[in-house]
Amino acid sequence: MAVDFPQNYSVLLSGPPGVGKFEYCLSLVKSWLDAGERVVYITSERSPVEIKSFASRLGLSLEGHEDGGSLVFVDCYSWNMGKSYEKGFTIKNAANVNEINITLEKVMEKIGNPARIVFDSLSPLFLYNDVQTMTKFFHFLTSNAKTKYGFIIYTLQEGVHDPKIRNTLIYLVDGYMEMQFGEDSDVLTRKLRVHHLKGVSADTSWKNFMVGEKGFEMRS
């Protein structure tokens, strides 16, 4: 689904585990890098090494972009294994969400703005922080992204959070998108829709997509 997300904008994408949020984010990263934009990838569910390896299997090389400074990883995953990411920025403890804000400030000083920020995913951080802390963090980061950085999209695991939490996060962003597994046949299907995008004209009907050898692909 081609969506021309504006700058100074924020979006939340939710869906069940394994539905295709990660692959969708990679498709966005590819389109933005191809267009010469700066991209910051904040990851909490897999390491940058895993992401680059997966992208490579899809025919998307991130190495050149990363070395050239148009792609920067903020690694919120490897800390709990006692590792750090050499090229990018490693968060030492995801229980201290303020460290993420401080690190992102350093990243933006390094690469300049505007940038496209992908935060994949928010859900693991709820394991280490209470709801109030996460809500304040989310509000602060979203405000900074819109006023100082450019654009941000977050992913959230559906079915693992209280619906009140999800609704609060939706309220704090400009746009909300949903993914789900289809239930209309014996064959596994996946669906995506734009629930709303403030100020942007978008088709809000469900669209089928697939995750295959080329990653995320819309189906006709």
- The percent of residues in the chain predicted with pLDDT above 70, rounded, is 95
Position 185 scores a pLDDT of 66
pLDDT tens digits for range 15-37 = 999 999 999 999 999 999 989 99
39 pLDDT higher than 80:
yes
* Token pair 């046949």: residue: 185
Q: Is 170 exposed, middle or buried (0-12, 13-18, 19+ CB in 10 A)?
A: middle
pLDDT tens digits for range 164-185 = 999 999 999 999 999 999 876 6
Q: Which helix (H) or strand (E) holds 167?
A: helix 163-172
Q: Under a CB-based contact definition with an 8 Å cutoff, are residues 85 and 75 in contact?
A: yes
Query: Model pTM?
Result: 0.94
CA distances 50 to 44, 54, 98, 109, 219, Å, are 12, 6, 25, 26, 27
- pLDDT band at residue 214, thresholds of 50, 70 and 90? confident
- pLDDT band at residue 58, thresholds of 50, 70 and 90? confident
Sheet holding 190-197, edge to edge: 89-90, 71-75, 39-43, 115-120, 150-157, 9-15, 175-181, 190-197, 207-212, 215-218
Q: Which helix (H) or strand (E) holds 112?
A: none
- pLDDT band at residue 91, thresholds of 50, 70 and 90? very high
Q: Choose the weakest-confidence range: 92-96, 167-171, 191-195.
A: 92-96
- pLDDT band at residue 85, thresholds of 50, 70 and 90? low
101 pLDDT higher than 80:
yes
CA gap 85, 81 in Å, rounded: 12
- pLDDT band at residue 2, thresholds of 50, 70 and 90? low
Q: Under a CB-based contact definition with an 8 Å cutoff, are residues 71 and 7 in contact?
A: no
Average pLDDT over residues 46-57: 91
Position 99 scores a pLDDT of 95
Beta bridge mates, 73:
41
User: Is CATH 3.30.565.10 the right assignment for the domain spanning 9-182?
Assistant: no
Q: Where are the domains of the chain?
A: 9-182
Q: Is 16 exposed, middle or buried (0-12, 13-18, 19+ CB in 10 A)?
A: middle
